[in-house]
Structure 1
Amino acid sequence: MERRAALVPLRYISLPGQGPEDVVADPAGRVLTGVSDGRILRVDGVDDPSTARVEHVGEIHGRPLGLELLPDGDLLVCSADGALLRLDPDRGAAGVRVLAESAAGERLRFCSNVVALPDGTVYFTVSSRVHPLRDWMGDLVEHTGTGRLLRLEPGAREAEVVLEGLQFANGLARGADDSFLIVAETGARRLTRFPLTGPRAGRAEPLVEHLPGFPDNLWRGAPGGPVWVALAGPRVPPLDLLHRAGPTVRRRAARLAVKAPFRPFGATGVLAIDDDGRTVVPYSPLRSSGGTPVPTRRRAAFRMVTSVCEARGRLVLGSLLERGIAVCETPVTT
């Protein structure tokens, strides 16, 4: 049996907003995130809670999800309401520019995560063409397979569809040499490799299958570093069985799922892989030093880890549900 690495929580930093769904770190070790009311926040001092500062650096019209920091300091923002945006943190609300709102003549829906290549080309995911963010559980249950990977060339106003049929396309990461992308398919519990160059360019292939949980956002710091995978919850065997049923059964189950009160899945955590899909940090559930879930101010556990990044030698975790971020010891890679 594979030994699980320790994921030890150190602190919880409260935010003036709910749902820091994605977290990314800048070269100074500051963490940027977006909360449910559209604000973009920057957290400085994650290694010292007594001096940690939270700064409001921008705001979008919509719900921010995936973020990508550009070399010039601007931030790419995926809006769950159907747009890819660019934000200049020095200009606040006035510094928001729409990059794309459509693909193949169709209005975007549920933009999820984004990466930028050195030549200015941007790739981003659309999780579902059927269900909006508020009904994300419906897409996982219905298993619509309507997720997409899109490309936006420099100067273009409309994105191009380069891959479709994905099961809730979510996090994105670049290969170390920029020759391929890694796409998280949350609904299939897998990571998919999408070559950008070479004889197999444009032909997707499985990289890691049968993950122990639902992969959400991905993070790669240094090009030679590991790809961290946030797992928003563990495998749910009844859902695996439902996915084998016909589309009518899944559609009816999805209608019930979006009406039911949501209870977050059980243990959540992270793992890390290399470019060949080999595990370099085994699945690491979030636990306190005593073996219990990490406490927050009011709850027994930090629920639903949707993102992870490295900042100042620590792992920082984001969540679609929480009102803060968790800071943990970084497990040792193998």
Structure 2
Amino acid sequence: MRKTIPLSLAGMLLAALLYLLTWPVPVDPVVWHPPSDAGYTGAFAPNERLKGLNRISLDHDGIKEEGPEHIVLGPDGLLYTTVASGRILRMQPDGTQVQSFAETGGRVLGFDFDRAGNLIAADSERGLLSIDRAGVVTVLTDHVGSSPIQFTNSVIVAADGRMYFTDASTRFGAKQWGGTFEASVLDILEQSATGRVLVYDPASKTTEIVAKGMSFANGIALSSDGRNLFVAETGRYRIWWIDASVRDLNLSTVAAESSQAGILLDNLPGYPDNLMRGKKGRIWVGLVKPRNPTVDGMAEKPFLRRLTLRLPRSMWPVPVPYGHVVAFLEDGTIVASLQDPTGAYPETTAVTETEDRLYIQSLHAPDLGWLPAEALRR
């Protein structure tokens, strides 16, 4: 009996070791070299300007909603938002009269309106959609040639009608891998940088690649003159500018002095998400999570990233909650940094700025947070 117990224990330990070393995982991590984290210094010095948000319930018709991931003031004067259930809601700007506007059967992450008043939606599971004023859904594109669009993330409609949007990852689609958050974790852990920027031309009904080679391509915005795109590369803590006229540009080979694209903001203290144009030239970005030294420490150790996925999810090095939204100008100057170190309003993805309010976007918040516009002058 005394020999049986140690042998059984040894067998269990060997099985556990073999599991941690050999169990198949979906990622094939590559080495990358993150910049040294400067932390909350300089323009990002700690503050509590995002604390104490006012809250608007998103519940309607007896249905509980959460996750106002993207918010836009529509041409009809109503406030529209996507939520985790897959619905698109609309309401009065003061948060009253919440109602369901449309359901796509997928999960819309970003959207914009075209000149005809159609809502153009980046549905992470279905592709780029057009939703008319009656809520009828039409798929505009879900392929680039023979290549499927796996993870449609954000979209912006240009003055000429072209629709620029991001395909966050060609490796991990939200529908195939259990949802948007799960797929994003896999893509960022792998760092294979398959994210890309696409453009759909409604006149010719064609879809082209603008740029590729991004580690989770996320939020997108246009410059004031419409010539350049700003794109958040979530997995590498930075924001690019890209000439909107280029096609099939590989960002992994772009030189620092290139006239086609460049890094506008680098070494951010968190993971950048949505990009939203605000007032007075401001562009808002949300840092959905702060950086994590454990994650950065595994950047040059692919084996450890494989091992991480073999651990229980509760043991993954998930960054701590930290509310943070930032406004910058087109030249990269930081002009606002609103923070809540408690992270009481979770996963801040950006700000929708109107004349009266700052609506705070969130991946998982149970309601819609907002501050009066005067908060920017504090």
Tell me, yes or no, whether TM beats 0.5. yes
Using the alignment, how far apart are the partners of 1:137 and 1:227 within structure 2?
A: 26
Q: How far is 1:266 from its partner?
A: 1.9
Give the paired residue count: 312
Question: Where does residue 251 of structure 2 map in the other structure?
Answer: none
Question: Where does residue 205 of structure 1 map in the other structure?
Answer: 262
Question: Where does residue 321 of structure 2 map in the other structure?
Answer: 266
Using the alignment, how far apart are the partners of 2:271 and 2:134 within structure 1?
A: 36
Preserved contact between residue 326 and residue 334 of structure 2 (Cα < 8 Å) = yes
Question: Where does residue 152 of structure 1 map in the other structure?
Answer: 200
Using the alignment, how far apart are the partners of 2:129 and 2:185 within structure 1?
A: 25
Q: How does 1:66-105 map to 2 (within 5 A)?
A: 66-88=110-132, 90-92=133-135, 95-105=136-146
CA distance 1:110–1:84, change in 2 (3 Å):
same
Residues 201-223 of structure 1: per-residue CA shift (max 9 Å, x gap): 6x32100001111110010045x
Give the unaligned 5+ runs of structure 2: 1-40, 60-64, 247-256
Q: How does 1:320-331 map to 2 (within 5 A)?
A: 320-330=363-373, 331=375
The alignment partner of 1:56 has SS state of strand
Q: Comparing both structures, which one devotes a greater share of its residues to strand?
A: 1
Amino acid at match of 1:70: D
Residues 289-334 of structure 1: per-residue CA shift (max 9 Å, x gap): xxx65xxxxxxx2111123201342111122212321112344379
Question: Where does residue 19 of structure 2 map in the other structure?
Answer: none
Q: Is 1:20 aligned with 2:68?
A: yes
Q: Is 1:332 aligned with 2:373?
A: no
Q: How far is 1:255 from its partner?
A: 5.6
Which residue among 10, 30, 38 is the counterpart of 2:78? 30
Question: Where does residue 228 of structure 1 map in the other structure?
Answer: 284
The alignment partner of 1:239 has SS state of helix
Question: Where does residue 138 of structure 1 map in the other structure?
Answer: 186
Residues 68-105 of structure 1: per-residue CA shift (max 9 Å, x gap): 122332211111114100111x312xx21111010131
Q: Comparing both structures, which one devotes a greater share of its residues to helix?
A: 2
Question: Where does residue 185 of structure 1 map in the other structure?
Answer: 233
Preserved contact between residue 166 and residue 185 of structure 1 (Cα < 8 Å) = yes
Using the alignment, how far apart are the partners of 1:164 and 1:319 within structure 2?
A: 26
Give the unaligned 5+ runs of structure 1: 294-300
Amino acid at match of 2:340: L
Q: Is 1:39 aligned with 2:87?
A: yes
Question: Where does residue 57 of structure 1 map in the other structure?
Answer: 101
Preserved contact between residue 114 and residue 161 of structure 2 (Cα < 8 Å) = no
Using the alignment, how far apart are the partners of 1:156 and 1:236 within structure 2?
A: 44
Say which structure, 1 or 2, has more relative contact order (CA 8 Å, 6+ apart): 1
Using the alignment, how far apart are the partners of 1:125 and 1:37 within structure 2?
A: 21
Using the alignment, how far apart are the partners of 1:257 and 1:109 within structure 2?
A: 26
Amino acid at match of 1:220: R
Q: How far is 1:262 from its partner?
A: 9.0
CA distance 1:320–1:10, change in 2 (3 Å):
closer
Give the alignment's Cα RMSD to 1 decimal.
2.7
- Give percent identity, aligned residues only: 33
Preserved contact between residue 86 and residue 105 of structure 2 (Cα < 8 Å) = yes
Which residue among 194, 203, 216 is the counterpart of 2:273? 216
Which residue among 281, 296, 301 is the counterpart of 1:240? 296
CA distance 1:97–1:258, change in 2 (3 Å):
farther
Question: Where does residue 172 of structure 1 map in the other structure?
Answer: 220
TM-score, normalisation: structure 1: 0.84
Q: How far is 1:149 from its partner?
A: 0.5
Question: Where does residue 124 of structure 1 map in the other structure?
Answer: 165
TM-score, normalisation: structure 2: 0.75
The alignment partner of 1:159 has SS state of strand
